[in-house]
Structures are given as structure tokens and as C-alpha cells.
Amino acid sequence: MKATLCIDDAVGEHRRVLLDPFGKPFRLEIARWSARGTQARLDEVWWGRVWARRPGGQGWFVDMGLERAGMIAPSKAQAITEGAMLPLRVKAEDWADKGPVLSLADMPPSVPRPERPGKHAAPHDDPFLRGVEVIATLREQAARKQVEAAIEEASRRETPIPGGGSTAVETTRAMTTVDIDAGERVSGPDGEAFAADVNLAAANEAARQISLRAIGGLVVVDFLTMQQKRTQRQVVETFRAALAQWLGRASRVLEMSELGLCEAAIARRARPVADALRMPPAEREALDALRGIESTGWAMRGAQIRARVSAGAHAWLEGNPDLGQALDGRIGGRWTMTPVERPAGKPEVWSV
């Protein structure tokens, strides 16, 4: 699939988004500088020490030298024993309160085992770009605008369906549900054809939203009611193909149930966008302030830039002086930041 890659390497936060040929975002990645070295990323190879069996004998917990232990399923290829140091590949990044999911990695016997757990190697290729042919790359302000729009879209509960109607995405601990609503879309005399038209457009939009938000696990889509098996199969196949296109891999999608529900099992891979966006309010405001100062610096060459942030955000930045130094290296020391006594929220940035 051809796509445009947008890279927003802001101070404190590296963000990327992929746009389809029509300019719609379908993959989004957010990585904070403060999280570097604290998370195992997709397809990295790590050394980990097995330290406890999971409840019910369903695999093992593995110490990777991180805050959260990894999890590895039982293996028939190699016996796993408590205390063993093993080479492991990250199959899925951590999410919610769960650690990364791991599999055994191929490692030549000649490679010495380290004394402590830790990262061994980066992926051979970029998992974010799999199944994609990048035809253009945007950076700086053009990329930042696209990334901001993608984050805003991925944070919304409802998104429009082309031609009318909407999808509503809600994630719980157990599953993600996608509700399809025709809204004010005008129905013709043939109710079956109307439902099929809405559902076919919704199937593609739902798959794009699942990919954009990096949703994994059980997904249930509540399509509009259709009576004919032929149209039901057509909608399911469209949803299955759309998931493969946007995600770059196949997912298990079941046929539609008698209640009009379509269930899909989507392998968890990258960290969900909702998790990546979740952080202390002071840190969020501080990063937004740095980004705002940098953007204003691009637009107003040579101007002095002022920012006003909460006391909490100012204190967070004082505890991370490397971020201010990095900003100086990009736009020069022509900015100042003033703390005010208020709850963390939206920073104020202007030029003088």
C-alpha cells in the first residue's frame, strides 16, 4: 500500500503517522523521550531471566530489567526452566497493566549470555512501515499538522462514515466494540441495499480506526441489520480485507452472527495509542509547551517567544533540563517560560 510518512520529532516526544493516498491517517506512533529505555518495543530482541510460572501453568513471567515483567507462552521447541537466561523477541508491546508478550528468539550458541537482562538488538526492519510503500515524507510543520489531526481523530469516540453515518469505538478491559449508526443518511425503498451500502463503507472505516488506534484483542462490530446471507458475507469479507490492508497482516474475522455482530481477533502488536497518550497532566502540558515554542520559532524567525505554564509543568521541565537544552539547539535561546499557580492544562505560547 502506498502511503505518506509524517515524522514529527518534537523535543520530548517523537511521533509518526502514515497517511493513505487520500490523506487519511491509518497508523500512529507516539514515543516520549522520558520512556526511552523503559519499554520493550515491537520485534526487539532482549535477554530475559525466567523467574516465575504464570497462574495455571500458562507460560512464564520473565524479568527483562524493566518495570513490568514480560510474559512467554509454553514452548514445545525448548524447555523453559526457572532462572534460565533466554533470548526473546517482543511479539506485543506492553499495554494497560500488562507487560510485553514474548517469544523465543533464534540466537547462535556462540553468542555469550549476559549476566543481567537487557536489550540485545533492534528489529531488522521498521514494524511501523510493514506492508507500506512510502512515496513521500513530511517533516517539521507540515508533519506536525498531520500528526495533531491524527491524534485528535484517534481520541474521538465517533468518526463519520463516507456517505453518511458514523462509527463509535469504545474499549473496555475485555474487548473493543464498534457500533455502526446510519445517522441521517437517507434510506431508499430497498432496506437491505441501504444497510449493505452503509455497512460496506463502515467496514472499511472501522478497520482504519482499529489500525489508527493500534487496537488489539477481541473486537465486536455491530453492523446494521441485514437479512440476506450473501450481503452479510460481503460485508464480513470487506471488513476482513480492510483490516489486512490497514494493519499489514491478516486477522481472524468470524462470519456474522444471527444478531448481526461480527467478531474479530486482532493480534496485539504495537502499544495502543490511548496508552501512549496517557501520562501525568504536568508532563503533557510541558511537552505541549515545548512543541508550541518550537512551532512558533519556526513561524517567527528571530522573534522572542514567551510561554506560560502551570507550576507543575514548570517543575517537571526543571527536573528534565536536557529538554530545554535540546530546544535551545533547535531555535536558539530566544524563549522564556513563566510558571503560574493553576492546575495543569493547556500552555500559552506567543511571540513578541
Tell me: the pLDDT tens digits for 261-313? Answer: 999 999 999 999 999 999 999 999 999 999 999 999 999 999 999 999 999 99
pLDDT digits (tens, 9 = 90+) for 38-58: 899 999 999 999 999 888 778
- The three-class DSSP label of residue 255 is coil
- pLDDT of amino acid 190: 86
Q: How far apart are CA 140 and CA 70, in angstroms?
A: 36
DSSP class per residue in 56-95: GG--EEEE-SSSS-EEE---SSS---TT-EEEEEEEE--B
Domains and CATH numbers, the chain: 1-39+124-145 (no CATH), 45-121 (2.40.50.140), 156-274 (3.30.950), 280-351 (3.40.1260.20)
Q: State the amino acid at position 251 in one-letter form.
A: S
pLDDT digits (tens, 9 = 90+) for 142-182: 999 999 999 999 999 999 999 999 999 999 989 999 999 99
**Residue 79 pLDDT greater than 80, yes or no:** no
Q: State the CB neighbour count (10 A cutoff) for residue 268.
A: 19
CB 336 within 8 A of CB 46: no
**Residue 188 pLDDT greater than 80, yes or no:** no
Q: Find cell 521498521 and name the residue.
A: 126
Q: Find cell 533464534 and name the residue.
A: 106
Question: Average pLDDT in the 211-239 region?
Answer: 96
Q: What is the pTM of this model?
A: 0.93
**Residue 76 pLDDT greater than 60, yes or no:** no
| Grid cell at residue 285 | 502540558
* Cα four-point dihedral sign 306, 286, 281, 6: positive
Question: Average pLDDT in the 195-221 region?
Answer: 97
**Residue 77 pLDDT greater than 60, yes or no:** no
CB 42 within 8 A of CB 90: yes
**Residue 216 pLDDT greater than 60, yes or no:** yes
54 secondary structure, DSSP code? P
Percent of the chain with pLDDT over 90: 88
pLDDT band, very low/low/confident/very high, at 78 (cuts 50, 70, 90): low
Q: How far apart are CA 194 and CA 203, in angstroms?
A: 14
pLDDT digits (tens, 9 = 90+) for 328-348: 999 999 999 999 999 999 999
What separation in angstroms does the CA of 333 have from each of 122, 309, 323?
35, 18, 12
- The three-class DSSP label of residue 18 is strand
Question: Average pLDDT in the 52-77 region?
Answer: 86
- pLDDT of amino acid 258: 86
Closest CA to 44 of 112, 105, 86: 105
In the chain, the largest separation of any two C-alpha atoms, in whole Å, equals 72
